[in-house]
Amino acid sequence: MYNLRELGDYFKQRLQDRLLHLAGRKPAKKRNPISLSSAGRCQRASAYAILGADQLVWGWRQKVSLEDGNYTHTQVRKYLKSALKGTHFSLDDQEMPVYLNVSGWKIAGHVDGIITRLCDCVEHKELPRKVVLEVKSTGQYGYYKSLKKGGISIEYRSQATAYMMGAGVTDTLFMFKNKNNGEIAFVHYKLDDTLAKSIDDRYRNVKLFKEGFRQIDDMTREYGPNKKGQLPFQCNYCPFVLKCWKEFKPGRSEPGKAVYQLDAFDKEYPEIVSYPDQGDS
């Protein structure tokens, strides 16, 4: 006979099992393997995505965390749009599609929003007419790091840069939300021409792979273990990490901190040996 504590444990296990099942389900609509949101992803991971290689499945904690982030995007943009009513600014074009043309390859993305200056008043006339809004929900460490000079991660800067290039603007306002306490901060980021060129070069190389002019070994593993054998965030959260760095026990695989479902680490993830029809993306 259950007591309430045991019943709670039973409910927790049932919930976790259900979340794991949902995390493992494939989306009804096939996602484009390359988009502007992947501007900072390493070339090798992009190549695996194009090939449709087997991906690791999120653990239940990561699924909940990602859905929390999606809710935050909707929540804070709704409040910001309402807060800007009656001011000289507006939040427009939420989820507006933007495109980057790379040697004839049209790569799509969706901006979180565009902040538009509505006035030409003396106080605001020197500000840009349009600014990309990028909403990010982070943990405590990532939040405070992002507020420091140069502290915004390369993934976030790459995404923002790709969106700015696609939207034809030169400025982004990051809206960071601290998941621990709900604190919000805005950080300005200006288009970096050097980073923009590196993104364009990366996409060009990925395009050559997509068209059959590059092989998998030509695609650089842009991230890897440090001298202590520790993998960076980019690898630990990459769904193809076992193809590159399985021996380094990626993905925080210890119980209680799993990014991915743990049984995945008992399987083999060989390099691609046959290339399926890549088609158009």
Q: What are φ and ψ of residue 109, in 5° steps? A: -160, 170
pLDDT-derived band at 12, boundaries 50, 70, 90 = confident
Partnered with residue 136 across adjacent β-strands are 176
DSSP 115-144: EEE----TTTTTS-SEEEEEEEEE-HHHHH
Q: Which residue has the higher pLDDT, 259 or 29?
A: 29
Render pLDDT for 104-119 as a digit per residue (tens, 0 to 9).
Answer: 999 999 999 999 999 9
Residues 6+ apart with CB under 8 A from 257: none
Average pLDDT, the chain: 85
For the stretch 16-26, pLDDT in tens is: 788 777 766 66
The model's pTM is 0.84
Taken in order 277, 236, 102, 26, the sign of the CA dihedral is positive
153-203: pLDDT as tens digits: 999 999 999 999 999 999 999 999 998 898 999 999 999 999 999 999 999
**pLDDT higher at 197 or 232:** 197
